[in-house]
Structure 1
Amino acid sequence: CGTFAGVSLFLKEKNPQIKTVLADPMGSGLYSYVKTGEISSEGNSITEGIGNSRVTKNMENVPIDDAIRVDDQEAVKVVYQLLRKDGLFMGGSVGINVGAAIALAKEMGPGHTIVTVLCDSGARYQSKLFNSEWLAAKNLLPDEV
């Protein structure tokens, strides 16, 4: 939340027309907070270090225009696409962020600039996110593994 809050505040200060969109995994309550003003969550996620079930102090008064929820299936698919197609060894938070950026790009169409943060490497996730047996047990094994 801290990176999103700080970047959002900085960018909105520079240009109030910029739209900030929160990327959130299943099981986090921030998506519903942005959409309805109430914290509620549904589902759960394997991603670590992203999402929250409460609004932390650093998120108070942060101007958030919208939120996109990304499920684990999409996040894992994106992580493996980044590895295979772009040579980027990233973690689950990046899968959520890039998955949301892709969804936003599809929604907005051509002619817009979308920025996201690649906030974690995949090194800490080798026993889970990059373990085909673990992914298969969670029914998350992407076609590209």
Structure 2
Amino acid sequence: DENIRIALTDPHGAALYNYYAHGELKAEGSSVAEGIGQGRITANLDGAVIDTQYRISDEEGLTWVERLLKDEGLCLGLSSGINVAGAVALGRELVAEGRPNPQVVTILCDTGFRYLSTLYNADWLAAKGLPVFDWLTPARTPGP
């Protein structure tokens, strides 16, 4: 169906973005995202027709992680934030192409509860040079 477009969204440092964009399985950059950004063609992608691809920064993915928690009550991991950022980018492209009400589907693939010591930890975010959610406070070490 020509009305269906399949997009791949990957973080910086992921080889699949380059593979579908340029035909070369080569990683560029880096990401703190876990479980996304494979360096090989997995069985579910073998032979897949990918129409477009997006490379999403950790910062942009985190923006969506925070927004989905605040606005929707969904506590998600960075892989989900990256997927949502790609879905939003695709939706905006479709609207720009003249499709006034596109339907975009993505996968929210990880719960944020697995990342309480990382993505939801102000000290960890700051140490990685990532923006700290304004509602997080740095961990306090008990002392005298």
TM-score range, shorter chain: 0.7 to 0.9
1:1-145 to 2 correspondence within 5 Å? 15=1, 17-109=3-95, 110-142=100-132, 144-145=134-135
Amino acid of the residue matched to residue 106 of structure 1? R
TM-score by length of 2: 0.84
Offset of residue 68 of structure 1: 0.6
Amino acid of the residue matched to residue 110 of structure 2? D
Select between 15-24 and 31-40 the one with higher mean Cα deviation. 15-24
Structure 2 counterpart of 1:11: none
Q: Could you tell me whether the CA contact under 8 Å between 1:25 and 1:96 is conserved in 2?
A: yes
Unaligned 5+ segments in structure 2 are: 136-144
Instruction: Answer with 1 or 2: which has the greater Rg.
Output: 2
More helix by share: 1
Deviation beyond 6 Å, 4+ runs, structure 1: none
CA distance 1:94–1:29, shift in 2 (3 Å): same
CA distance 1:143–1:92, shift in 2 (3 Å): closer
RMSD: 1.4
Q: Could you tell me whether the CA contact under 8 Å between 1:77 and 1:142 is conserved in 2?
A: no
